[in-house]
Amino acid sequence: MELLDRYLESVRKHLPWQRQDDIVAELRANLESQLEEKEETLGRPLTQAEAEEWIKQLGAPIQVAAGYQPQQYLIGPSLFPTYRYVLKLACSWAMIIGSIVLVVQVFASQNPSASALFGALLSLPSVLITAAAWVTLIFAAIEYAVAQGHLKLPAMCAPSPGWTPSSLPPLGQNVAHGKKPRSLAQAIAEVVFGILFLGWLLLVPQHPWLLMGPGALYLNASPFQLADIWVPIYWCIVALNILQLGWNMQNLVRGTWQKPHPVFNLVLKAVGLIPAILLINAPNHAAFLLKHPAIDHARYGAALDTINLYILRSFQVIIALVVLQLAWDLWQLGRDAYRKREAAIV
Partner 1 sequence: MTIAENLFENLRLELRRGCLTLAVLAQLRVERYGYTLRKALADDGLVIDESTLYPLLRRLEAQGLLASEWREEEKRNKRFYRLTPDGERIFAQLLGEWKAINASVTATLNSTTNAANNGAL
Three-class SS of residue 214?
A: coil
Q: Does 76 bind partner 1 (CB under 8 A)?
A: no
Q: From the list 21, 32, 52, 336, which residue makes contact with partner 1 (rule: CB under 8 A)?
A: 32
Q: From the list 4, 64, 102, 227, which residue makes contact with partner 1 (rule: CB under 8 A)?
A: 64
Q: From the list 17, 43, 48, 67, which residue makes contact with partner 1 (rule: CB under 8 A)?
A: 67
Closest approach of partner 1 to the CB of residue 19, in Å: 8
Q: From the list 12, 20, 59, 266, which residue makes contact with partner 1 (rule: CB under 8 A)?
A: 59
Sign, Cα dihedral of 311, 268, 115, 318: positive
Nearest to 25 by CA among 40, 45, 8: 8
Three-class SS of residue 290?
A: strand
Q: Does 58 bind partner 1 (CB under 8 A)?
A: yes
Question: How many C-beta atoms surround the C-beta of residue 99 within 10 A?
Answer: 19
Closest approach of partner 1 to the CB of residue 106, in Å: 50
Vertex 152 angle, CA 151 and 157, to 5°: 120
Alpha-carbon distance of 197 to 245, in angstroms, equals 10
Q: From the list 5, 6, 13, 33, which residue makes contact with partner 1 (rule: CB under 8 A)?
A: 33
Closest approach of partner 1 to the CB of residue 279, in Å: 55
Nearer to partner 1, 27 or 312 (CB): 27
DSSP string of 54-113, one letter each residue: HHHHH--HHHHHHTTSPP--SS-TTTHHHHHHHHHHHHHHHHHHHHHHHHHHHHHSSS--
Q: Does 56 bind partner 1 (CB under 8 A)?
A: no
Closest approach of partner 1 to the CB of residue 63, in Å: 6
**Residue list 34-53, contact with partner 1 (CB under 8 A):** 34
Q: From the list 3, 9, 13, 30, which residue makes contact with partner 1 (rule: CB under 8 A)?
A: 30
Closest approach of partner 1 to the CB of residue 134, in Å: 33
Q: Does 55 bind partner 1 (CB under 8 A)?
A: no
Q: From the list 14, 46, 68, 333, which residue makes contact with partner 1 (rule: CB under 8 A)?
A: 68
Vertex 209 angle, CA 204 and 215, to 5°: 130
Say if residue 126 is exposed, middle or buried (CB neighbours under 10 Å; 0-12, 13-18, 19+).
exposed
Site residues (CB under 8 A) for partner 1?
A: 23, 25-27, 29-34, 58-59, 63-64, 67-68
